[in-house]
Amino acid sequence: MLDCRGLHHLTSLQQLSIEVCPKLNITEERLPASISTLYIYGKCPLTSKLQEMNDPRIQIETSDRLRV
């Protein structure tokens, strides 16, 4: 589970990458303002929810191939 409310205290956090997240759950609808990009790689049950957030900082790569 990713509690974005807890991330709001990390004021220097600019990029966050999550790979292989088949059970990811996000408890907050809003990303911290300090994050410039959130990368999601691989299959994620929240892909449609994240896309609905329509936040340009969220980058989703749904292929099975992970970045190197």
Q: Where are the domains of the chain?
A: 4-61
pLDDT digits (tens, 9 = 90+) for 13-56: 899 888 877 777 776 667 888 889 988 888 788 777 888 888 89
Counting Cβ atoms within 10 Å, is residue 1 exposed (0-12), middle (13-18) or buried (19+)? exposed
| pTM for this prediction | 0.68
- The CA–CA distances, whole Å, from 3 to 8, 9, 31, 34, 63 equal 9, 11, 10, 15, 25
Token pair of 33 as six digits? 């303002």
**Residue 61 three-state SS:** strand
Which residue type is seen at 56? P
